[in-house]
């Protein structure tokens, strides 16, 4: 009986740790503003007080707060979001052509978001810890 309860608890924790709804804080990211891919590691994020917090509410609301020097990240406003397979779409309420799509994955409870431009260049590839 205890084994079954333990398995159920692990499944529940896995589902919570591997779902989008919640608040997330960036701890490392890559960006390619020119011809060179730049990696901002966790130590640099901390030492330079870099912030990128995002939130996916259960009701479909998306929140964004950032001081990163990545133009694209600064332009994201609070909006709504939807999920399909391993893609999350930030929806522009006035023009669907302005929707923003990210590829996402979970690894060890961390969220990974990837956004590329039309030519395959990395705009941002970020790693987030869940904060709630």
What is the full per-residue pLDDT of the chain (132 aa) written as tens digits? 666 665 565 544 444 445 889 999 999 999 998 889 999 999 999 999 999 999 999 999 999 999 998 877 877 877 899 999 899 999 988 888 888 999 999 998 899 999 999 898 999 999 999 998
Encode burial over 16-48: b for 16+ CB neighbours within 10 A, e otherwise: eeeebebbbbbbbbbbbeeeeeeebeeeebeee
State the Cα torsion 18-123-73-53 to the nearest 10°. 30
Domain that holds residue 10: 2-130
pTM for the predicted model, two decimal places = 0.83
CATH code of residue 105: 2.40.128
Q: How many domains does the chain have?
A: 1
């Amino acid at each position: 009986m205890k084994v079954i309860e333990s398995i159920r608890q692990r499944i529940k924790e896995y589902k919570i740790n591997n779902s989008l709804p919640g608040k997330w804080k960036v701890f490392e990211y890559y960006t390619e503003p020119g011809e060179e891919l730049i990696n901002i590691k966790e130590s640099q994020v901390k030492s330079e007080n870099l912030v990128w917090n995002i939130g996916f509410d259960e009701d479909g609301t998306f929140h964004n707060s950032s001081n990163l020097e990545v133009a694209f990240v600064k332009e994201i406003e609070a909006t709504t979001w939807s999920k399909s397979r391993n893609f999350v779409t930030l929806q522009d309420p006035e023009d669907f052509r302005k929707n923003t799509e990210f590829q996402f994955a979970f690894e060890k409870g961390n969220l990974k978001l990837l956004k590329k431009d039309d030519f395959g260049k990395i705009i941002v590839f970020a790693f987030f810890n869940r904060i709630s």
